[in-house]
Amino acid sequence: MQSFLRACLAISLLSAPATAADIELWHAHQARAFIEQVVEKFTEETGVTVKITPFAPAKVKGELLLGAASGLTPDVILVPSDFLGLHQELKLTQVDADWNDSSLLDSAKQTTIISERQYGIPVIQGNHLMLYYNKAFVDSPATSWKELAKQQEELNQKGLKAIGWNYGEMYWFAPFLGAFDGWPMAGDKVTLNSPAMIKALNFYKQLSDRDIVPKWCDYDCAQKQFIAGEFAYSINGDWAYSDFRKELGDNLGLSVLPTIDGQPLQPMSSSFALAFPRMQKDSETADMLKSLSLFFQKEQSQLHIYHEFKLLPVNGKVFEQVRKNAIGDEKVILDQLALTKAMPSEPAMAITWEALAKGYKRFMDHGYTAERAAKYMQSLADRELKKYQGK
């Protein structure tokens, strides 16, 4: 079967125009090199060419939705698993069970299943936030926000800012909600108007009021400015690890996120999955895409991705091997993973994210109290969900 597939691919390659790629792949993962390297190997082995288009992470959802609405979609997208909840809007095609590698972790597979149907193939997991710090400025990383606040004064005297992250982005807000026992969704219900949300909003705001984190911080604080030595700490995802290690070398420190009065922050975890908009089953392209999916999942690729980029594998054998041998930063990545909660992949999650962001904006910039903002988020999400379900 394998050799037959290769023969088919070779024939199709010979008949294809020399300039056009066989497959087009869109993604918004920061560690784009891991995709490029795996794809390059794939091309070497199969002869199938892939055109890769990287998008800005903040824009990719809108671009995909617009593309899908206007019929301009690539063959395959590599997206966080919660995007699969929009399978209807993104026109994603269901995949069969034989697209999964035999060693694929069931937990990873579950992130791609919506209403008992699988809409994507996971290639990496984790995708969770962690606390990075610069050892040139910090001897011992803060384990709580109180400790970080104490270190802030000393860091400011050295002309440094304490910590930076993408402050206005809700993916970074979610761990604080988790620390107060809150979560945006419970099952398929939106749970934004909760006491936990009110506490989390107030706590989050006072961090910028006290200038522990600048209110204007965007993703540059967590990435470029942290590398430039302007910030002592950064909260960023596992996807940033390889870049940080390359830039900061031995000065890079990694730790689990600081606690709030002993309660650990609960970042979201998910997988990054390959998904296939408007795929014609039993087509030549579908064969190539299946081949690409299996290539990403196989042990050799998974090991390469982990060793080079410290992105956690979805291959069960590889993951077990990693878990057993983990030391130093690798162990911290796994420790933080243990404190995460899986990001819901329900269709309603996409709406919940937007409602959360709009309520947050009203709270931070437009004088809403936390109670009013939480109420607004909930009502907005309920209304939009109703509208969505009515379509």
Taking the complex as a whole, how short is the minimal distance between the CB of residue 203 and another protein, in angstroms? Answer: 22
Tell which one of 117, 146, 278, 387 touches another protein (CB under 8 A).
Answer: 387
Question: Which range of residues in 61-69, 122-130, 165-173, 286-294 is near another protein by CB under 8 A?
Answer: 61-69
Check binding of 388 to another protein (CB under 8 A): yes
Closer CB to another protein, residue 246 or residue 387? 387
CA 205 to chain centre: 24
In the window 342-361, what residues touch another protein (CB under 8 A)?
350-351, 354, 358, 361
Closer CB to another protein, residue 256 or residue 349? 349
Check binding of 61 to another protein (CB under 8 A): yes
| Residue where the block lists tokens 């309520």 | 359
Taking the complex as a whole, how short is the minimal distance between the CB of residue 366 and another protein, in angstroms? Answer: 4
Taking the complex as a whole, how short is the minimal distance between the CB of residue 71 and another protein, in angstroms? Answer: 15
Burial of 232 (0-12, 13-18, 19+ CB in 10 A): buried
Query: What long-range pairs does 301-304 form, CB within 8 A, spacing at least 24?
Result: 301/38, 301/41, 304/37, 304/38, 304/41
Check binding of 65 to another protein (CB under 8 A): yes
User: How many Å apart are CA 383 and CA 352, to the nearest integer?
Assistant: 11
Taking the complex as a whole, how short is the minimal distance between the CB of residue 88 and another protein, in angstroms? Answer: 11
Question: Which range of residues in 121-129, 168-176, 260-268, 366-374 is near another protein by CB under 8 A?
Answer: 366-374
User: How many Å apart are CA 5 and CA 83, to the nearest integer?
Assistant: 30
Closer CB to another protein, residue 38 or residue 350? 350
Check binding of 218 to another protein (CB under 8 A): no
Tell which one of 9, 39, 86, 274 touches another protein (CB under 8 A).
Answer: 86
Closer CB to another protein, residue 203 or residue 388? 388
Question: Which range of residues in 54-62, 202-210, 280-288, 309-317 is near another protein by CB under 8 A?
Answer: 54-62
Q: In the 3-class helix/strand/coil scheme, how is 230-264 assigned residue by residue?
A: CEEEEEEEHHHHHHHHHHHHHHEEEECCCEECCEC
In the window 19-48, what residues touch another protein (CB under 8 A)?
none
What ranges in the chain are assigned the alpha helix state H? 2-15, 32-46, 60-69, 106-110, 145-157, 170-179, 195-209, 219-222, 224-227, 241-248, 284-297, 299-309, 316-325, 329-338, 347-365, 370-390
Cα dist. 353→82, 226, 372, 381 in Å?
10, 27, 17, 9
Taking the complex as a whole, how short is the minimal distance between the CB of residue 190 and another protein, in angstroms? Answer: 14
Check binding of 82 to another protein (CB under 8 A): no
CA 332 to chain centre: 18
Q: Binding residues for another protein, how many (CB under 8 A)?
A: 23
User: How many Å apart are CA 83 and CA 337, to the nearest integer?
Assistant: 20
Tell which one of 282, 366, 386, 390 touches another protein (CB under 8 A).
Answer: 366
What is the DSSP annotation of 81-100?
A: GGGGGGTTTTTBPP--GGGS
Phi, psi torsion values for 177, nearest 5 degrees: -60, -40
Taking the complex as a whole, how short is the minimal distance between the CB of residue 292 and another protein, in angstroms? Answer: 28
* Site residues (vs another protein, CB under 8 A): 58-59, 61-62, 65-66, 69, 86, 89, 350-351, 354, 358, 361-362, 365-368, 380, 384, 387-388
